[in-house]
Each structure stands twice: as C-alpha cells, then as structure tokens.
Amino acid sequence: MQPLEYHYVMGTCQQLSVVLPGTAELQSVNWQRADNGQAHHTDKFFSQELIVRRGQLFYMSVTLYRSLSHREVTFTASTGPYPSESTKTKAVFPLSDKISGTGWGAQLMYNKNKVLSISILSPAKAPIGRYTLSIHISSEGNYSTLKLGTFILLFNPWLQADSVFMSNHDEREEYVQEDSGIIFMGGASYISTIGWNYGQFEEGILNICLSLLDNSLNFRRDPVNDVARRDDPQYVGRVLSAMINNNDDYGVIAGNWSGNYTGGQHPRNWNGSVEILKKWQISGFRAVRYGQCWVFAGTLNTALRCLGIPSRVITNFNSAHDTDQNLSVDVYYDPRGWPMDKGSDSIWNFHVWNEAWFERTDLSPSYSGWQVLDATPQEKSQGVFQCGPASVIALREGNVDWDFDMPFIFAEVNADRITWIYNARTGSLKKNFSDSYLVGKYISTKAVGSNTRMDVTENYKYPEGSSQERQAFQKALGKLKPYMAFRATAAGSLSTAELKPSISGKFKITGALTVGKEVNLALIFKNLTSDSKTVMVNMTAWTIVYNGKLVHEVWKDSVTLTLGPEEEIQHPVKIAYALYEKYLNADNMIRATAMCQVTDETEVVVERDIILDNPTLTLEVKGC
C-alpha cells in the first residue's frame, strides 16, 4: 500500500454556486475562519482551512437564493475513509432552535435575507481529524445533498470536558501555543542547551501531522478502528511515538548513532521540526536521515502540540537502557580495567523524550496528567518501536505493571548500575559494586515562560536513597515477572557479595577541557584504613558516543602506588590531543577508567565521562 496524503480545497471562504434540484439554490458558504480561529485558539495556524477544537461551538453562514425553513435542513459531519454512525465517525443532526445533549448539533442563529447563520457543536470526545460537512435540504418533496467543504477538528485543552484539558493559562500557552523552545543536552556535570523550532503553526505542518496518522500501521491494518480511536489522546500519542521513527512504517526519521552520516544530515545539524516534516512529505514519505533522541523528541513535540495535546520535551541525564527488564544496568570490565562489550545494557549520558498531558481513562484518575511518550527507537513494544504513554505519577510509585512500557521507562530513571569483573580465562564473574545513585539525574525541561531549566526529577522518583525511593524500587521489581527480575549470568562461577574496599578513588578535572588541548585530570586516591596499602592501577581512556557506546581507545597507562595510613594522594593523568584527535566525534566525549587493585582485596573501579568544549572562534574584520 502506498503512503497516504491529504488534499483539500484552499480558500478563506469556500464559495459554492450549486443549483439544487427543485427551486432552491445554494449561493455561498462562509466559514468565518478568522472569528472561529480566534475563539478556538487556532488563529496562529498558517492555513486557509477552518480549524476548530472539539466540544466548542463554531459559526458559519449559508447564503441561499431563496428562503428556507430551518426544519428543512439537516447536516452530516464525517471523518475517515469509511465513516459510520456506529463508530462515531459520522453524525447526522438537524438544524434546530437550540442544541441539546452532548453529541453533534446545529443551532439556527438567524434566518434573514436568505442567509442561514448557524452554530455547530462537536462532542468533547469526538475523533480528531479532517471532517467533511454536508447539508441536506428537504424542500417541497425534493431531497438534495451538497458537500459544503471540510474543516479540521483538534483536541481542546481549553475545554474542561476534553481529556486534554489543562486548567493553568500560562502552562497552556507554553505547552500548546509556544512554537519554539530549548532542549537540554550534555551530561549531568555539564548541562548544555540547543534551540528548537517546533513550528506547529507553520504552513502545511498541520496537514503533515494528519498524514502521520494516516500512514501508521494501525490505519493500514484497520482504518475503521484507527479513525474511531482518534478520540483518545492516549491512542493518538502512542501512534505518533511509532510514526516519528521509521523502523516499522512510513515514519519520519531514520535514527543513526554510528558516527557515519553519509547520505543524510548529521543529527546535530537540525534545529527544528519543520524542515524535517516537510522533507518527509515532499519525498513521498521516505525517512529523513538522520536523527538521534533530541531530534525524535523535538519532532514529536511538534506533532502533539499541533494536534492540540499539551506536551513538553524532557531530558534525563545518566539515562539507563535496561534491555532485560531486571531494573539494573550491568557493566563489565576485565581484570585489567578494560571495558568489555558484554551484554546489551547501557547508560546514556542523556536521553530525551516527551511528556504529554491528558486523562488516563484506563487507570485511576489520580494517574492522569503528564504521560511519557518516547519516539526514539530503542526497544519494541507490542512488536513495534513505540513507547508510552506511561503515567509519570505511576512511575514514581513503582507501578510498572500498568500500560504502557512502564518497566523500561522506570529503569531509565531509577535502575541500579552494577559493575562486574569478568575473567575470560577462568569464566568467573564477580560483582564489584552496585550504585543506586547514578541513574536519573537532573531530569529537565524548559520552564514555563522562560528559557531557564526546570528540574522535574522529583516527579519521577522520591529523593535518591530515601526509604520511599527504595520501597518504590522494590515494589517495581516485585511486580515484574520472576524470570525478568533476575539476570542469568554467564557460565562459570559467580560471586555476588560486595566486599568493602580499603581505598576510594575519583577523577578530578585539573585543567580546561577544550578540543585541541591536552586533557588534564588527577586520579585521587584515599586510604580508608590505618594500614599502608599498595595499589596497582590500570587506566584507560576511550572516546564515546552520548549513548555510552565506546568508539576507540585513545590512551592507557599502568602505575603502582603506595598509600600510607589514611593518606590521600593525587596521580596526574594527561591525554594529549594527538592521541584523541582522530577518534573524537561530535559529542566531544571521553571516558576515563581506572581499575585499582589492592593485593588480596576487591577491585575499585573509578570512572568519569568528560565533555570537551569546542574552541572559541574569533573573527577579526580589518578595514580595506
């Protein structure tokens, strides 16, 4: 099946001059686009089509060549390729003196000089999308039907009866009407920003966002059910999370984390969604190359706001990717301190997703509000690369057995990082250290009304290390299926006991971190005992991608140090530019690791990710 695209008639007022059978003629239709647009908060859309929000009256007028009684007029509103009253994608309703009930209705405002002024009300739970409005006239035994034209119906965050209702004015303006923003990136110790143009009101974008729905797998498999379910922002949000990536369908963006972007754009070259969405449409719905997490999130944010679902972009620092749903990220080293490509878990320096605001009718009302949606193709859900919606409140409480994708998202913000020492020669696997503090730092979004950072970490979890946080973690672990809750380790002996180390270590930055310059660190050791200790240290440094993937080893060294009782010493680490120059990618990230071994004691693994600044470019303009 080929990709589908909408086509529609342009014109502020669709002027129709149609002769009806019998004695009546329809002269013109005035959609009152400007007035309706202002009343429905759709006047920012660069479009000549009527755009209104569900559950709210809109007005139009029909000019005839002769007078008609309103009792002779009936309307039909329909959406989708196979509209029917049984699926609520078609409604037939009379022109009445007043509108009653919660369904579709039309009220005659006045009938004067052959002009019928009409108000039309859609249900607050009507499917969103492009509707065709037809008028049926029964006059002196003759019955005629005319298609008046089309209009677009969107979700309505201004309406209390709508499931996307957002009561706070400033938040509505930010999360629905704001067409630009910032996205946080970098690392937990070095948070940076990029600007992003959402552009949800720009010409053609609404039409493209509707095309997203009509190119989904759901629509192709069952268009009748798909269109009927577009009344639910939960359903629409999940479909969009699948359509923004191209992994299973005619989706928008092809992801690429390889470092080779031949045949497309480097993900860091994008600064907005409009160009991406238009490229997708113009190319015949072929995937735009290439994107990474913030590109997927920025584009999904555009689609959500465009269709009327309040949304925002969220950045999670030290974001876990737990592939086996055991709520831990397992990291492996060999006895020399070299990282091992064993297992598929990882920790991303940062990961970006979306939150959308709506009611969860499938859960208790207390779990409505912000819901996580993630368009980055990481793991399949119900056979498709889609993710969410997941209630943020439910995540905080550890309710990972609810829809949708709760275990994966819970782990992203709250997994434990477990370090293992694997000896390939003996086949032994030894648990070295479990860190419950590392994952899920400084969860961030743009503040309402400003470009400052708003920390939303406590929306996702209780304070790290608190009894409530650990209780939520244990609750989540207990709710998972038993075979998912425990990881089957490699063959060979396994020791899971954590021994208390006699030394501590950390990397400290001792110089400016700039591309083109030497990287200067200090490895600081402290003896935690009253006895002297001899430490054998194996150190490595690798360039990495922001998702934690190792690129290339750029430096290594070994040293043996002696620490007196309770002594603290610093060992300098210098990584020359010539060593990392060829292997540094656009993320400018290097991971330094030290495996520290005291004789007959447990190893201490010290690790730090550093981000290098690009050098300042100075332009000097001299006179002629």
Whole-angstrom Cα distance, residue 469 to residue 383? 31
Longest dimension (CA), the chain: 109
Q: What letter would DSSP give residue 80?
A: S
Taking the CB of residue 3, how many other CB atoms lie within 10 A of it? 16
Taking the CB of residue 484, how many other CB atoms lie within 10 A of it? 13
Is 324 known as a binding-site position? no
| Residue of 238, 32, 236 whose CA lies nearest to 126 | 236
Q: What letter would DSSP give residue 381?
A: B
- In the residue annotation, 249 being an active-site residue is answered as no
- In the residue annotation, 293 being an active-site residue is answered as yes
Query: Which two structure tokens, joined as six digits, stand for 350?
Result: 């940062």
Which residues, 6+ apart, have CB-to-CB distance to 11 below 8 Å?
A: 48
Whole-angstrom Cα distance, residue 239 to residue 246? 12
Is 174 known as a binding-site position? no
- In the residue annotation, 321 being an active-site residue is answered as no
Whole-angstrom Cα distance, residue 102 to residue 251? 36
Residue type, 77: A
Whole-angstrom Cα distance, residue 122 to residue 124? 7
Is 414 known as a binding-site position? yes
Contact yes or no for 377/361 (Cβ under 8 A): no
User: What are the counts of helices (DSSP H) followed by strands (DSSP E) for the chain?
Assistant: 14, 31
Which member of 41, 179, 214, 293 is catalytic? 293
What are the helix (H) ranges across 178-325? 205-214, 217-221, 223-228, 233-243, 274-282, 293-307
Whole-angstrom Cα distance, residue 340 to residue 344? 11
Which member of 249, 324, 374, 405 is catalytic? 374
SS3 41: coil
Whole-angstrom Cα distance, residue 296 to residue 308? 19
Q: What letter would DSSP give residue 582?
A: G
Q: What letter would DSSP give residue 621?
A: P
Is 464 known as a binding-site position? yes
Which member of 214, 351, 387, 609 is catalytic? 351
Q: What element of type H or E holds 104?
A: none
> Active-site positions?
293, 351, 374
Please report, in range form, the residues annotated as the binding site for Ca(2+).
414, 416, 464, 469
Please report, in range form, the residues annotated as the binding site.
414, 416, 464, 469
